[in-house]
Chains A and B, each alone.
Chain A
Amino acid sequence: DTGVSQNPRHKITKRGQNVTFRCDPISEHNRLYWYRQTLGQGPEFLTYFQNEAQLEKSRLLSDRFSAERPKGSFSTLEIQRTEQGDSAMYLCASSARAGTSGGAPLADTQYFGPGTRLTVL
């Protein structure tokens, strides 16, 4: 188990440029999440995949943001026409389905990567 990895760890870009981040989850995990964390705040949910299907997207995810998980393994998060307000830490997490208890789904334990820090100048 090598943990969740994210690349790059740091990205500095100019306003208006496109950027792409990559996340490699723990190998047997079928669920993958993206969060955004700004300074002094807790992470905020962006989107979630189960295998290759994108099952939920936050209203925070404007149409400049797109995420993919084409083969149900690694995922990419692209931001087009970056703005200064996009500067943040982008976190990826993965989990294995926890199963059910009494017919109700159990909450997965999510394992987080180190994050990609984006700075938009």
Chain B
Amino acid sequence: GNSVTQMEGPVTLSEEAFLTINCTYTATGYPSLFWYVQYPGEGLQLLLKATKADDKGSNKGFEATYRKETTSFHLEKGSVQVSDSAVYFCALSAQGAQKLVFGQGTRLTINP
């Protein structure tokens, strides 16, 4: 079946550090890929998405590239801020389907 595997957390970084959160997936066909973020006390928010191979999603300084050959969608940011502290979820929706399949989430803490 379809699945998403995320880098285990928690991840703790200092402000202005480079961030990578790894995400790999298993799915047939061409799924759409998403990163959602959950800030403390808030609901899930879409951070970025990509719908076909080699697409790059970007938002708020975060980027992720849909890599079909490695079945990956790693999240990156060049310089993190304290306000980026949150839980990040990688997710997919299979081709032709609407439901989202989520990874287990990665808790990120940025220290000043």
Contact = CB atoms under 8 A, between A and B. Distances in A.
Interface in B61-109: 89, 91, 93, 95-96, 98-105
Interface stretch (A11-19, A80-88, A109-117): A109-117
Contact of A33 (B36, B96, B99): B99
Contacts, number: 61
A95 interface: yes
B64 to A, nearest CB: 15
B interface bracket (residues with beta carbon within 8 Å of A): 20 to 34
A79 interface: no
Contacts of B4: 42
A114 B38 CA distance: 10
Interface of B: 4, 31-32, 36, 42-46, 49, 51, 89, 91, 93, 95-96, 98-105
